[in-house]
Structure 1
Amino acid sequence: MDSALSRTSRPQVVYLPETPHERFKILIAGPLGIGKTTAIKTVSEIQTLHTDEIMTTAAAGTDEVAHQELRAKTTTTVAIDFGRLTLEQAGIILYLFGTPGQRRFRPLWDDIAEGALGALVLVDTERLKESFEVMDLIEERGLPYTVAVNAFPHSRTVNPHTLRTKLDLDDHTPLVVCDARDKNSTLDALIALTAHLISLAGDTPS
């Protein structure tokens, strides 16, 4: 397995703050090629860890790569992506774990999800059905989540109410739009998830 630090960008060394911070383990989830690795690389304050393998013909018939956004895809995450983000004003540190998007990695997915407080689920309006399995896994574990529509160049703009209906989202589940390539946009999506988690924690009887 090719486990390596991201070479696409080299953030400056950022140490953990000395002041007390809450620490949240967050999953970045979604189907193959949805932008999980990109999102983590975009916002991480440390050099990201990723575990990619070259896609081969052995995946034919298993991984669906016919969609135009996936035709040029040559690698896939087979273990995790990892990054870290400090939300200084909120006093929170997010440990970001990107999960494989294919069903054959279910046992590994279960291990990665252990201890997570919530998930940011990336979806594409052109491939909504491919997100159902991941959302089912998250709901089976009882994890709260926020859905972020990744703004691919080809994606159609869909009315939020229609999206909620198609994804069968509960009214309390946040739905946002982001561009995984843009730091501020991805940061806003993670802030929406964090606010959702804090809100739920406040509703939990002590």
Structure 2
Amino acid sequence: MDYANSEALGAARRDAGMLLSHGARGVKVVVVGGFGVGKTTLVGAVSEIPPLTTEETMTQAGVGIDHNPGVSGKNTTTVALDFGRISINQELILYLFGTPGQERFWFLWNGIFEGALGAVVLVDTRTIEVCFEVITRLEDRRVPFVVVVNTFPEAPQYPLPDLRTALALSDSVPIVTCDARDRASCRDALLSLMVYLCNLAAAQETA
């Protein structure tokens, strides 16, 4: 899926004065996951503005390092972040920040996660082992998250309870499926995060 980067940046600057409508609340959400799991695709599919991407062409230096067995045709990679926006309703706007998947770029997390209310952990079942470190880092930062399984056609499909066990997720953490190419599916995944955050806030108020 193609998205403009410099053009999107220009559009974002032109729209800077209209990021929040009167009375609306902006919430920062981070989309994380391993290399090639579909983070850029998800942000681009769901965003109501032209997404800002920082994708660069992969070179020979990445051979043997940037690898996902399910995306042999992938020739670009995110090197900083992806950015998009979606209005859930008139009162709530989500600002989406997609992180690079490779571990060598994880030092960027400190800045990207500042002020984030929650996160989406995007999963490819062909590289599920990558999720352990990502989830551990979120838990260490005490960032609430949901796990979203991107349903690649070629990827093995497992029952969600089995994936919950494999990822050692607590029963309280939502795990859902999503087609990262489909806007409605992505929106539902983001809504699962919002519901989870609301439930956490309600539980804290009654504690």
Q: Please indicate, yes or no, whether the TM-score normalized by the shorter chain is above 0.5.
A: yes
Residue 132 of structure 1 aligns to a residue whose secondary structure is: helix
- Measure, in 1, the Cα distance between the counterparts of 2:167 and 2:21: 41
1:31 matched to 2:26? The reply is: no
- Matching residue of 1:77: 78
Note the C-alpha offset of 1:126: 1.9
Q: Is the 8 A contact 2:20 2:26 kept in 1?
A: no
Give CA deviations for 1:53-76 in whole Å, capped at 9, x if unaligned.
1111111232224x0x22111010
- Measure, in 2, the Cα distance between the counterparts of 1:109 and 1:53: 19
Residue 53 of structure 2 aligns to a residue whose secondary structure is: strand
Residue 146 of structure 1 aligns to a residue whose secondary structure is: strand
Give CA deviations for 1:94-136 in whole Å, capped at 9, x if unaligned.
0000001111112112211111111011101222102222112
TM-score, normalization by structure 1: 0.89
Note the C-alpha offset of 1:17: 5.4
What letter corresponds to residue 74 of structure 1 in structure 2?
N
* 1:133–1:4 CA distance, 2 compared to 1 (3 A): farther
Higher strand share: 1
Give CA deviations for 1:37-93 in whole Å, capped at 9, x if unaligned.
01011111111100011111111232224x0x221110100000000011116x211
Note the C-alpha offset of 1:166: 0.3
What letter corresponds to residue 80 of structure 2 in structure 1?
A
What letter corresponds to residue 32 of structure 1 in structure 2?
F
Matches within 5 A, 1:28-67: 28-65=31-68, 67=69
Gaps of 5+ in 2: 10-14
TM-score, normalization by structure 2: 0.88
Higher helix share: 2
Matches within 5 A, 1:91-170: 91-170=91-170
Residue 126 of structure 1 aligns to a residue whose secondary structure is: helix
- Measure, in 2, the Cα distance between the counterparts of 1:5 and 1:142: 35
1:88 matched to 2:89? The reply is: yes
Q: Is the 8 A contact 2:20 2:93 kept in 1?
A: no
Q: Is the 8 A contact 1:101 1:134 kept in 2?
A: no
Q: Is the 8 A contact 1:5 1:50 kept in 2?
A: no
Q: Is the 8 A contact 1:85 1:93 kept in 2?
A: yes
Note the C-alpha offset of 1:205: 3.6
- Matching residue of 1:4: 6
- Matching residue of 1:10: none
Single out whichever of 73-82 and 106-115 deviates more from structure 2: 106-115
Across the two proteins, how many residue pairs are aligned to each other?
197
Percent identity of the aligned residues?
45
